[in-house]
Amino acid sequence: MRQHSAFKVVGLHLAVIVLFFLAQFVLPEYHHLAVTRVMILAIFALGYNLLFGYTGLLSLGHALFFAAGLYGAGLTAFHLGWSVPAAFAAGVGAGFFASLVIGVVALRTSGVAFMIVTMMFSQVAYLASLYFTTYTRGEEGLVMPEAARHFDLFGVTFSLTDPSLRYNIALLLLAVTLIVILIVVRGPMGRVLIAIRENEPRTLMLGYNTFLIKLKAFVISGTISSVAGAAYALLFAYVGSSFASIQYSIEALLFTLLGGAGTVLGPILGTFAMFYLIDIVSGFTVAYLLVTGIALIALVLFFPKGILGTIRERWMTWLP
Amino acid sequence: MDLGPFLVLATLEGLLQAAVLTLIALGLSLVFGVMRIVNVAHGEFYMLGAVIAWFVASLLSLHPAVGFFLALVISPLLVGLVAYASERLILKRLKYDPEATIVATIGMLYVIQQVVLIGFGPDARPVEAPFYYRIRLPWFGYSAYNLFVMAAAVVLLIGCWYILTRTRLGLIMRATQFDSETAQAFGIPVDKVYGYVFAAGAMLAAVAAVLIVPIRQAHYLMGLDPLLLSFIVVIIGGLGSLRGTVVAALIIGLSDGIISVFFSPTLAKMLSTLLVALVLVFKPEGLFGAKAR
Amino acid sequence: MAAVTLLHTKGLSRRFGGLKAVQNVDFDLKQGEIRALIGPNGAGKTTFVSLLSGRIVPSEGQVFFEGEEVTGDPAWRRVRKGIAYTFQITSVYAKLTAYENVALAAQSALSRSGAVRKKDLDRAVAEAIEKVGLSDRARMKAGELSYGHQRLLEVAMGLALRPKLLMLDEPTQGLSDAEIDNFCNLVRDIARTATILLIEHNMPVVMQLADSITVLNAGEILANGTPAEIRANPAVQAAYLGS
């Protein structure tokens, strides 16, 4: 029975990737770009979900890690003229380092204090991006120079102005992230993460160093978020302070809640649904964030398990 | 100008900031203390208070003083009503689960803010002060209205302190804060207390907004800064502690006012936010508050 | 075979404010025995085992396990060294299956000796679950099990940790007589591979199971001895009946 469900799990996730791959051949130009963005934001949400959905730690500061990737890549490419792969690595490295340092400090708290502390650290980073406006140009932001729009790898030149290449890079990153998440949550570590979410004191008394395990989850989650940020900066050639604002942390939370916290595919579905919902609503009104607010309230009140969480509970119990 | 007058001005600005901040933070602290929930929408109640004040003052086209004092009554009442309704319809149903409540109040933040954006528009709008008088100091003129705001805040604080420590109402609130189950057993309607406390917390923010709106204009995004500052105050002062809140608001308000005059306000906010995050991690009972139970 | 000391404490004390919950306790536990820890309510039993398990830190004194000082070790590290503790208040993962509950314990034990292979894990879980007789309920959510079964699940988790010392805190509380008999047999079975420290109120259970008994009163050791000696000890009788 377990063999069978493992087969189904791999098949389902493969199908999702294939679906995204095939979609690029039929999508009209506008949606082609939109789905590219959705995939990058979904990576952000996937990283967030590892911490919130599986480990039960509600961070209100994940914009910081997205921004670490964004600025780590953007600033090195803009000011130091680093090549695209090097800038990408710098962004991910910045995210790794930031999540390690902040994790060590913030994980000394729990519950409400953890939410507030992560939010405050993130706010410090946001203010820093405004304060060092000489380098970041604050809200106005930086547009990546021409040199950072293409790169050479294995003797081939890739141009990031090509929408099709951007789409497939985003897809590749999404697929890799999905595999990493699946390996983590279905393996021994995932079992302990869920145990910490359900009852941390008990998990401690089963001989697990819960602090260290939470820190690992925090760092993986933050680093994945920075992958999304670095990719965003390089693919869409823009970095700006708004990506570091509290609003972005809340979006990751919203995408995850909507799709289903603690389900592997939930964040992807949630990002997709919310992105298009906001896209449609902003055609009618400037107050499109109203949707965000209503969605958050409705989700916690009536739909706390999200779309996939509910489906898993009712029909597909094998869903990871 | 010399340094001296500059310092006087900075101190006055700081005191004004502290006066308003104390009222807002007191509302947040009250709600946290009694109900054990963090209200992220608190800043929006403040914003709503200012916006309603603008509507009252400008739509009725009365004498500025009449409009202002009318707003001082109507605005907190309406804000209290909105808060009460949202507490009954949303927070109560979540059984005050800490995480769910935070997510829900974030949702409320957006809903209130965006509804105001639709109804009030994106522009900042001024409200006329009830009176206009400049006190002539040796170095510069200073608006007497600013002093009025500080005095009003002090009066309101004394009122709050009196209610909390010397009346039956305050006793009920303290009992609920201390141990809600025992309070329930002694016949205190804890459920109702929660509803009223949440409304009262929002009303304090609304009063602060009406007081400040003749100096700063009403704007749909004006809620975020006071929210973060009152978080800072409540954390430094010790969650749920009245005295700690007042002391911390004075310190934060004054230092924010003074640092902002001499240095970049962004740097000041950055440093204070970082400091507060570290206080919350390493000294969660606050710097001045009593040790958390 | 000479008795080997598995665990001992030297001058172990814990104060909560002015209250001395545990004072200056020197305690020895021999390998392979079943030791019962008894005492009137408020004698400091739970505080004492919490000090042994590392859930609270002592104000003074030391704890040694297998001759090695563990006073400074956090709870999780003591568990990895072989000190397991089952909770007085049932504390299973209600939303996870019985299998997953035990798997968490087994995974912790197996990871002490390198990477965990799924095959080994499945075997270890099946073994522990079978020992407590819950095999046919392995796929049920722990929260849906009856109270008695949840207590057995706790024991299975303790077993799957492969402990050298298993501390059972009030294990029979709330069980029916039939369940208690069953439980006593289980404890004897476990005692073949582990030393057991039993905190228990139910005197018939204590007299039946324990090789020796330690009586705690007002945070201090009042008496040590065999069940017969303890029964005859006037100081113990006074502590239970007198105050």
pLDDT tens, position by position, B137-191: 777 778 888 889 999 999 998 998 888 888 888 888 888 877 888 888 777 888 8
Best mutation site among A256, A278, A301 for testing chain B: the one with the most B CBs within 10 Å? Answer: A301
Predicted confidence (pLDDT) at residue C217 exceeds the cutoff of 50: yes
A212 touches chain B (CB under 8 A): no
- Please count the residues of chain B: 293
Q: How confident is the model at residue B1 (pLDDT cuts 50, 70, 90)?
A: low
B287 touches chain A (CB under 8 A): no
How far is Cα C14 from Cα C61, in angstroms, rounded to an integer? 9
A204 vs C contacts (CB less than 8 Å): 75-76
pLDDT tens, position by position, B254-272: 887 777 777 777 888 888 8
b/e code A112-144 from CB counts within 10 Å (16+ = b): bbbbbbbbbbbbbbbbbbbbeeeebbbeebbeb
Task: Look at A195 and C95 and tell me if their CB atoms are within 8 Å.
Answer: no
Task: Look at B102 and A287 and tell me if their CB atoms are within 8 Å.
Answer: no
Predicted confidence (pLDDT) at residue A143 exceeds the cutoff of 50: yes
Compute the nearest-CA separation of B7 from chain A (Å). Answer: 24
Task: Look at A120 and B111 and tell me if their CB atoms are within 8 Å.
Answer: no
pLDDT number for residue A190: 93
Q: How confident is the model at residue B286 (pLDDT cuts 50, 70, 90)?
A: low
**Cβ B99 vs Cβ A253: under 8 Å:** no
How far is Cα A207 from Cα A216, in angstroms, rounded to an integer? 17
Q: What is the pTM of this model?
A: 0.89
B75 touches chain A (CB under 8 A): no
**Cβ A42 vs Cβ A174: under 8 Å:** yes
Task: Look at C105 and A206 and tell me if their CB atoms are within 8 Å.
Answer: yes
Q: Using CA coordinates, name the residue in chain A closest to B104.
A: A297
pLDDT number for residue C242: 54
Q: How confident is the model at residue B291 (pLDDT cuts 50, 70, 90)?
A: very low
pLDDT tens, position by position, A73-108: 999 999 898 988 999 999 999 999 999 999 999 999
Predicted confidence (pLDDT) at residue A37 exceeds the cutoff of 80: yes
A–B: how many Cβ contacts below 8 A?
114
Beta-bridge partners for C34? C196
Q: Sign of dihedral through CA atoms B6, B10, B15, B17? A: positive
pLDDT number for residue A47: 96
Q: Using CA coordinates, name the residue in chain C closest to A191.
A: C104
Mean pLDDT across the stretch B65-87? 92
Q: How confident is the model at residue B41 (pLDDT cuts 50, 70, 90)?
A: very high
Mean pLDDT across the stretch A148-163? 83
C108 vs A contacts (CB less than 8 Å): 206-208
Beta strands in chain C (DSSP E): 5-16, 19-30, 34-38, 60-65, 68-69, 83-86, 165-169, 195-199, 212-217, 220-225
Q: How confident is the model at residue C207 (pLDDT cuts 50, 70, 90)?
A: confident
**Cβ C4 vs Cβ C166: under 8 Å:** no
User: What is the residue range of B92's domain?
Assistant: 3-282
Closest CB to A204: pick one of C75, C157, C161: C75
Q: Sign of dihedral through CA atoms A232, A236, A242, A246? A: negative
Map tokens 């967030």 to a residue. A48
A258 touches chain B (CB under 8 A): no
Task: Look at A105 and B278 and tell me if their CB atoms are within 8 Å.
Answer: yes
Q: How confident is the model at residue A1 (pLDDT cuts 50, 70, 90)?
A: very low
Which of A159, C60, A266, A105 has the alpha carbon at shortest distance from B284?
A105
Q: Using CA coordinates, name the residue in chain C closest to A190.
A: C104
When computed from its CA atoms, the radius of gyration of chain C, rounded to whole angstroms, is: 18
Beta-bridge partners for B143? B134
Q: Using CA coordinates, name the residue in chain A closest to C121.
A: A188
Please give the tally of structural domains in chain B.
Answer: 1
B267 touches chain A (CB under 8 A): yes
Of chain B, the end-to-end C-alpha distance in Å amounts to 50
Q: Is residue B289 part of a domain?
A: no
Q: Is residue B292 part of a domain?
A: no
Compute the nearest-CA separation of C33 from chain A (Å). Answer: 23
Which stretch of A56-60, B232-236, C163-167 has the lowest confidence by average pLDDT? Answer: B232-236
Higher pLDDT, B42 or C5: B42
Give the DSSP letter of residue C141.
Answer: B
A–C: how many Cβ contacts below 8 A?
55
Compute the nearest-CA separation of B265 from chain A (Å). Answer: 9
Task: Look at B273 and A120 and tell me if their CB atoms are within 8 Å.
Answer: yes
* Average pLDDT taken over every residue of chain B: 86
CB < 8 Å from B in window 104-143 of A: 105-106, 108-109, 111-113, 115-117, 120-121, 123-124, 127-128, 130-131
Contact partners of C by the rule of 3+ C-beta pairs under 8 A? A
Predicted confidence (pLDDT) at residue C139 exceeds the cutoff of 60: yes
Residue A73 identity (one-letter amino acid): A
Q: Is residue C207 part of a domain?
A: no
Please give the tally of structural domains in chain C.
Answer: 1
Q: B239: exposed, middle or buried (C-beta count within 10 Å: 0-12, 13-18, 19+)?
A: buried
Closest CB to A206: pick one of C55, C108, C112: C108
Predicted confidence (pLDDT) at residue A51 exceeds the cutoff of 80: yes
Return the CATH number at A163: 1.10.3470
Contact partners of B by the rule of 3+ C-beta pairs under 8 A? A
**Cβ C32 vs Cβ C86: under 8 Å:** no
A194 vs C contacts (CB less than 8 Å): 96
Closest CB to C104: pick one of A201, A206, A209: A206
B279 touches chain A (CB under 8 A): no
Compute the nearest-CA separation of A192 from chain C (Å). Answer: 7
**Cβ B31 vs Cβ B39: under 8 Å:** yes
Mean pLDDT across the stretch C215-220? 86
CB < 8 Å from A in window 152-211 of B: none
Which of B157, B130, B158, B155 has the alpha carbon at shortest distance from B144?
B130
User: What is the residue range of A93's domain?
Assistant: 2-314
Q: A97: exposed, middle or buried (C-beta count within 10 Å: 0-12, 13-18, 19+)?
A: middle
Compute the nearest-CA separation of A290 from chain C (Å). Answer: 35
Q: Is residue C234 part of a domain?
A: no
Q: Is residue A79 part of a domain?
A: yes
How far is Cα C138 from Cα B174, in angstroms, rounded to an integer? 48
Task: Look at A207 and C79 and tell me if their CB atoms are within 8 Å.
Answer: yes
Pick from A96-105, B15-24, C167-176, C188-197 the range whose average pLDDT is largest.
A96-105
Q: Is residue B287 part of a domain?
A: no
Q: How confident is the model at residue A229 (pLDDT cuts 50, 70, 90)?
A: very high
User: What is the residue range of C120's domain?
Assistant: 87-162
A278 touches chain B (CB under 8 A): no
Mean pLDDT across the stretch C46-57? 89
Q: Is residue A125 part of a domain?
A: yes
Beta-bridge partners for A158? A151
Higher pLDDT, B32 or B198: B198
Please give the tally of structural domains in chain A.
Answer: 1
* Average pLDDT taken over every residue of chain C: 87
pLDDT number for residue A3: 55
B90 vs A contacts (CB less than 8 Å): 297, 301
Task: Look at C93 and A188 and tell me if their CB atoms are within 8 Å.
Answer: no
Task: Look at B111 and A293 and tell me if their CB atoms are within 8 Å.
Answer: yes
| Chains B and C share 3 or more Cβ pairs within 8 Å | no
Predicted confidence (pLDDT) at residue B293 exceeds the cutoff of 70: no
Task: Look at C75 and A202 and tell me if their CB atoms are within 8 Å.
Answer: no
CB < 8 Å from B in window 288-307 of A: 288-290, 292-301, 304
Q: Is residue C8 part of a domain?
A: no
pLDDT number for residue C228: 84
How far is Cα A57 from Cα A52, in angstroms, rounded to an integer? 5
Higher pLDDT, C1 or A5: A5
Map tokens 């949440």 to a residue. B198
| Chains A and C share 3 or more Cβ pairs within 8 Å | yes
Closest CB to C91: pick one of A191, A194, A199: A199
Predicted confidence (pLDDT) at residue C239 exceeds the cutoff of 80: no
Task: Look at A195 and C93 and tell me if their CB atoms are within 8 Å.
Answer: yes
Q: Which residues of A touch C (CB under 8 A)?
A: 188, 191-192, 194-195, 198-199, 201-210
Closest CB to A191: pick one of C79, C103, C109: C103
**Cβ C108 vs Cβ C161: under 8 Å:** yes
Task: Look at C96 and A195 and tell me if their CB atoms are within 8 Å.
Answer: yes
Mean pLDDT across the stretch C1-29? 83
pLDDT number for residue B152: 92
Compute the nearest-CA separation of A66 from chain B (Å). Answer: 19
pLDDT tens, position by position, C159-183: 899 999 999 888 888 788 888 888 8
Mean pLDDT across the stretch A284-305? 90
Task: Look at B122 and A286 and tell me if their CB atoms are within 8 Å.
Answer: yes
pLDDT number for residue C1: 45
pLDDT number for residue B288: 59
pLDDT number for residue B240: 63
pLDDT number for residue C171: 83
Predicted confidence (pLDDT) at residue C119 exceeds the cutoff of 90: no
How far is Cα A174 from Cα A171, in angstroms, rounded to an integer? 5
Closest CB to A297: pick one of B90, B115, B117: B90
Helices (H), A50-155: 63-79, 84-106, 111-131, 133-136
Interhelix angle B265-282/A84-106, nearest 10 degrees: 50
A286 vs B contacts (CB less than 8 Å): 117, 122
How far is Cα B73 from Cα B26, in angstroms, rounded to an integer? 19
